């Protein structure tokens, strides 16, 4: 299977199912067997996912992509052994980062709900015009990408986390802030925005917010 078929959802599902690390193997760049250069799509997905992981508090080194040919058996063994060692040193997913309780599951679920939206903005705003590993790495480490990430994804992700949390039970702004580790004013801003669109309502009797 082409590494370009490894969707962002597959990576997040693996982490949601308790995997401590994810390794993706693809053909060498510029040596695509199908002339689609899907391995560049895989590289873009990994770089995007690593940024999201960092944002929600997970070590991005838990996700790696390596490019090699079918004749690189020895290299594959070395990569797997090295990655396995690194992941063991990081410890279990979440615990190694200090994310306790249901916080990790909630964060990953919130990101997974955004995958269709992320695919859309990736095609429209984040896709590279040229196929070059250097271009991809330079872009995803640039101030331009940081700005686009903040503009297109950060707020959506915060709202998705709030909506996911409120699915369980109504909560006050302070409770949401404490559970998600967000600034109370930031939570209030997202709540007000969601209320205007009819997604959230204020429960006067319990002095908290609930899904509409």
For 22-78, what is each residue's pLDDT tens digit? 999 999 998 877 777 889 999 999 999 999 999 999 999 999 999 998 888 899 999
Q: Is residue 202 included in any domain, yes or no?
A: no
Classify residue 120: in a domain, yes or no: yes
Residue 182 in any domain: the answer is no
Residues near 122 by Cβ (< 8 Å), separated by ≥ 6? 44, 48
Using only the alpha carbons of the chain, give its radius of gyration.
19
> Would 49 be classed as within a structural domain?
yes
181: in domain: no
Q: Does 62 map to a domain? A: yes
pLDDT in tens, 89-99: 999 999 999 98
How high is the pLDDT of residue 86? 97
- Whether 191 is in a domain gets the answer no
How many domains, in total, are found in the chain? 1
Domain extent, residue 87, equals 3-168
Question: Using CB atoms within 10 A of its CB, is residue 116 exposed (0-12), middle (13-18) or buried (19+)?
Answer: exposed
pLDDT, position 36: 79
Query: Which region, left, alpha or beta, applies to residue 198 given φ > 0 means left and ψ of -120 to 50 means alpha?
Result: left
Asked whether residue 54 is assigned to any structural domain, the reply reads yes
CB 72 within 8 A of CB 31: no
For residues 35-47, one letter each, b for 16 or more C-beta atoms within 10 angstroms of the residue's C-beta and e for the rest, the string is eebbbbbbbbbbb
pLDDT of residue 82: 97
Q: Which one has a higher pLDDT value, 210 or 4?
A: 210
């Amino acid at each position: 299977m082409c590494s370009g078929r490894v969707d962002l959802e597959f990576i997040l599902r693996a982490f949601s199912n308790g995997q401590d690390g994810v390794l993706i193997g693809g053909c060498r760049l510029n040596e695509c067997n199908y002339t689609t250069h899907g391995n560049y799509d895989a590289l873009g997905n990994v770089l995007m996912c690593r940024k999201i992981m960092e944002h929600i508090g997970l070590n991005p080194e838990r996700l790696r992509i390596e490019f090699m040919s079918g004749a690189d058996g020895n290299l594959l063994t070395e990569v797997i052994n090295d990655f396995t060692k690194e992941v063991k040193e990081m410890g279990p997913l979440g615990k190694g980062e200090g994310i306790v309780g249901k916080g990790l599951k909630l964060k990953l679920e919130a990101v997974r709900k955004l995958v269709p939206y992320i695919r859309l903005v990736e095609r429209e705003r984040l896709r590279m015009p040229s196929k070059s590993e250097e271009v991809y790495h330079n872009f995803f480490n640039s101030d331009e990408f940081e700005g686009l990430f903040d503009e297109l994804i950060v707020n959506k992700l915060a709202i998705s986390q709030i909506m996911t949390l409120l699915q369980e039970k109504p909560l006050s702004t302070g409770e949401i802030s404490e559970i998600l580790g967000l600034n109370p004013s930031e939570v209030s801003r997202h709540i007000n925005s969601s209320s205007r669109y009819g997604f959230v309502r204020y429960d006067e009797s319990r002095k908290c917010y609930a899904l509409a």
